[in-house]
C-alpha cells in the first residue's frame, strides 16, 4: 500500500466519523432530509468563498458554507412556520433555489476557476493526496486530512461536552426548555456542526454522497441497538468500515471511490435491515408468525376451557369445531402438548392445571390490559412482548 493510498483511506475514515456523529442525531430527530438540503445549499457559500480566496481549502470557505447551511435551516423553518406548506415541501423549495444559485455562479465563471459541478457533486477523493499542506516549506500531509481532522476534533469535543444536552433535547424538547437547556440553541448548534462537517466532507465525497455518510450508518445502527451511546459507536464503526471497504472496491473495479463507499453503505444497510436481531425484516416476520400460532393456541385453550362436553374435546372433532385446517390444528395441539398445557387421554383433550392457569391469566390480560399479570409469561411467549 502506498502512502497516497493510506492517506486516502485515512481521509475517508475521518470524513465518515465526522459525518456519523451529527448524522446519528439527525436520524433520531427525523431530520435526515435536512442534511440533504444543507449539503446542496452550501454550494453558493463555497463558490463565493472560492471567488474571494481562490483556494478550495481556505477556512473562510468553510465559514461561509456553514453560514449558508444555517441560513438554509432558518429559511426552511420560516417557510414552514407560515403554515402554508409542510416541512418536506419547504425543504424542497429552499435547497434547489440555493444550489442553483451556486451552479449559475460556477457556470458564469467557469473559464477562470478550477471548480466544476462534477467535482462538487461527487468529490474527488483520489486527488486529495496531491494537495499538500506546507508549513515553512515542510510537507505535513494532505490539506484535506488537516481540515477534516480539525473538524472531527471540534465535533468530538462538542459531543463530549454536550452529550447530555443533545440527548435530552432530542428526546424531549419540552422538558429541555423547562429545565433551562434552550432546545433552540442546541438545534442551531447541531445544524452548524452538520453544515461545517458537510463542507469538510464535500471536498472528499461531494454533495450527494455526504448525505449517505450522515444517514446510512446511523439508520443501520438504529436497527441494532437500544442505547444511544452504542448507536453512536456503531454508526462510527459502520462509517469507517464503508469508507475503507469502499476504497478497496473502487481500487479493484477501477471506479469512483465516493460511489463505491456509498454502495458499501447501501449494502451494509440492506444486510442490517434483513438480519437485525429484533427490528430486522426476518426477525419481524418470524415474530409475526409466532404470534399467529400463539393466538391460535390461546383460541384453542379457551375452547377447551369453555367446553366440558366430551364431543367438543374429541381430538378428531376439534378441527370442525374451531374451523381450522389440519396442519394448523396439528401445530397448535403439538405446541400445547409440548408446553404441558393439555393432556390427551383416549382421544379426549383436557386442559392441565398449567394450561388452565395460563388461559385465565392470558384472558385476564387481554381484558384488563394490565401488564403486571403477565410479566412472568413474557419470556415464554411472543404474544405478550408488545
Chain residues in the site for other proteins (CB under 8 A): 28, 30, 83, 161-165, 167-168, 170-172, 174-175, 177-181, 222, 225-228, 230-231, 368-372, 375, 385-386
Cα–Cα nearest to 38, from 211, 205, 201: 211
Per-residue buried b or exposed e for 318-343, using 16+ beta carbons within 10 Å of the residue's own CB:
beeebebeeeebeebbebbeeeebbe
> Is-contact 312 321, C-beta < 8 A?
yes
What DSSP character marks residue 92? H
What DSSP character marks residue 314? B
Task: For the CB of residue 153, give the shortest distance to other proteins in the complex, in Å.
Answer: 18
- Cβ count within 10 A of residue 294: 18
Task: For the CB of residue 231, give the shortest distance to other proteins in the complex, in Å.
Answer: 5
Output 137 or 174, the one with its CB closest to other proteins: 174
Task: For the CB of residue 77, give the shortest distance to other proteins in the complex, in Å.
Answer: 14
Output 33 or 113, the one with its CB closest to other proteins: 33
The owner of cell 408488545 is: 386
Task: For the CB of residue 146, give the shortest distance to other proteins in the complex, in Å.
Answer: 28
Task: For the CB of residue 375, give the shortest distance to other proteins in the complex, in Å.
Answer: 8
Across-strand partners of 47?
Answer: none
Task: For the CB of residue 288, give the shortest distance to other proteins in the complex, in Å.
Answer: 17
| Cell numbers at 65, concatenated | 458554507
Q: First CA to last CA across the chain, in angstroms? A: 51
What DSSP character marks residue 317? T
Task: For the CB of residue 31, give the shortest distance to other proteins in the complex, in Å.
Answer: 12
Cα–Cα nearest to 87, from 65, 103, 67, 72: 72
d(CA 59, CA 199): 10
d(CA 19, CA 97): 24
Output 16 or 223, the one with its CB closest to other proteins: 223
Across-strand partners of 309?
Answer: none
> Is-contact 137 224, C-beta < 8 A?
no
Task: For the CB of residue 230, give the shortest distance to other proteins in the complex, in Å.
Answer: 8
Q: Show Cβ contacts of residue 322 under 8 Å, excluding neighbours closer than 6 positions.
A: 299, 300, 303, 329
Q: Distance of CA 279 to CAs 29, 147, 223, 275, 344, Å? A: 19, 37, 6, 8, 38
Amino acid at each position: 500500500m502506498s502512502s497516497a493510498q493510506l492517506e486516502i483511506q485515512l481521509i475517508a475514515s475521518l470524513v465518515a466519523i465526522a459525518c456519523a456523529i451529527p448524522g446519528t442525531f439527525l436520524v433520531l430527530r427525523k431530520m435526515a432530509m435536512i442534511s440533504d438540503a444543507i449539503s446542496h445549499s452550501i454550494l453558493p457559500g463555497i463558490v463565493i468563498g472560492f471567488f474571494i480566496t481562490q483556494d478550495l481549502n481556505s477556512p473562510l470557505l468553510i465559514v461561509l458554507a456553514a453560514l449558508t447551511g444555517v441560513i438554509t435551516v432558518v429559511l426552511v423553518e420560516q417557510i414552514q412556520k407560515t403554515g402554508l406548506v409542510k416541512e418536506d415541501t419547504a425543504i424542497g423549495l429552499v435547497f434547489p433555489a440555493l444550489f442553483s444559485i451556486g451552479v449559475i455562479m460556477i457556470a458564469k465563471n467557469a473559464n477562470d476557476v478550477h471548480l466544476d459541478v462534477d467535482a462538487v457533486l461527487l468529490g474527488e477523493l483520489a486527488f486529495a493526496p496531491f494537495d499538500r499542506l506546507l508549513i515553512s516549506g515542510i510537507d505535513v500531509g494532505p490539506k484535506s486530512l488537516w481540515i477534516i481532522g480539525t473538524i472531527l476534533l471540534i465535533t468530538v469535543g462538542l459531543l463530549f461536552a454536550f452529550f447530555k444536552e443533545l440527548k435530552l433535547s432530542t428526546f424531549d424538547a419540552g422538558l429541555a426548555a423547562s429545565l433551562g437547556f434552550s432546545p433552540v440553541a442546541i438545534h442551531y448548534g447541531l445544524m452548524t456542526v452538520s453544515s461545517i462537517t458537510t463542507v469538510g466532507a464535500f471536498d472528499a465525497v461531494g454533495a450527494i454522497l455526504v448525505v449517505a455518510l450522515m444517514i446510512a450508518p446511523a439508520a443501520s445502527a438504529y436497527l441494532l441497538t437500544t442505547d444511544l451511546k452504542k448507536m453512536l459507536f456503531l454508526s462510527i464503526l459502520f462509517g469507517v468500515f464503508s469508507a475503507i471497504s469502499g476504497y478497496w472496491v473502487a481500487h479493484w473495479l477501477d471506479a469512483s471511490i465516493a460511489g463505491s463507499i456509498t454502495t458499501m453503505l447501501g449494502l451494509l444497510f440492506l444486510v442490517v435491515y434483513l438480519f437485525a436481531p429484533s427490528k430486522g425484516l426476518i426477525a419481524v416476520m418470524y415474530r409475526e408468525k409466532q404470534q399467529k400460532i400463539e393466538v391460535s393456541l390461546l383460541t384453542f385453550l379457551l375452547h377447551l376451557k369453555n367446553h366440558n362436553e366430551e364431543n367438543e374435546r374429541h381430538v378428531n372433532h376439534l378441527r370442525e369445531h374451531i374451523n381450522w385446517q389440519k396442519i394448523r390444528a396439528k401445530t397448535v395441539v403439538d405446541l400445547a402438548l409440548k408446553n404441558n398445557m393439555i393432556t390427551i387421554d383416549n382421544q379426549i383433550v383436557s386442559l392441565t392445571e398449567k394450561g388452565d392457569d395460563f388461559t385465565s391469566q392470558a384472558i385476564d390480560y387481554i381484558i384488563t390490559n394490565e401488564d403486571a399479570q403477565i410479566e412472568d409469561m413474557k419470556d415464554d411467549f411472543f404474544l405478550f412482548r408488545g
